[in-house]
């Protein structure tokens, strides 16, 4: 049975220079209290959506949180480069990796908690700062991805 991880804390922070705005996210494994800290630059949500062809902020958060715990179980599993494949392939590859983590190793609770009112849900949602920071526009993300891939082809990368 896969381990259950929970996002327990999100702190607004920056790198040591103060120039890169970020979040520090703490993930805790319920069975033994092991904690993993993730330093997540704020630009990572939108850039991950563009690179991997993801369509929503919640989908990106789910991918990033599972990407954070997967190395605990398979530290040498190579990460695929989404820029080396078409958008739909990149999306399929990253979602397959999340599914593999869920099936074989761990799940990370990222869903908005159920509560009676919107205010109560927001108060209980530790990931609310990430959700409210950026909204992924799937059309804009796909267009940006095409522009980036075109630029990569022109430079021969």
The CA angle 103-106-112, to the nearest 5 degrees, is 105
Q: Is the pLDDT of residue 63 over 90?
A: yes
Residue 121's pLDDT band (boundaries 50, 70, 90)? low
**Domain tally for the chain?**
1
- What's the first-to-final CA gap in the chain, in angstroms? 42
The model carries a pTM of 0.85
Q: Is the pLDDT of residue 119 over 70?
A: no
Rounded Cα–Cα distance for residues 118 and 157 (Å): 46
**Residue-range definition of the domain harbouring residue 52:** 3-155
Q: What is the pLDDT of residue 150?
A: 85
Q: What is the pLDDT of residue 115?
A: 66
């Amino acid at each position: 049975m896969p381990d259950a991880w929970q996002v327990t804390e999100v702190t607004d922070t920056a790198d040591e220079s103060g120039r890169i705005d970020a979040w520090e996210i703490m993930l805790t494994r319920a069975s033994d209290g092991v904690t993993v800290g993730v330093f997540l630059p704020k630009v990572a949500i939108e850039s991950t959506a563009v690179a991997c062809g993801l369509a929503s902020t919640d989908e990106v958060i789910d991918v990033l949180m599972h990407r954070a715990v997967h190395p605990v179980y398979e530290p040498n599993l190579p990460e695929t480069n989404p820029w080396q494949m078409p958008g739909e392939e990149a999306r399929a590859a990253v979602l397959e990796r999340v599914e593999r983590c869920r099936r074989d190793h761990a799940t990370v609770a990222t869903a908005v908690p159920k509560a009676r009112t919107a205010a109560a849900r927001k108060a209980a949602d530790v990931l609310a700062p990430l959700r409210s920071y950026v909204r992924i526009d799937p059309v804009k993300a796909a267009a940006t991805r095409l522009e980036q891939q075109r630029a990569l082809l022109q430079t021969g990368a």
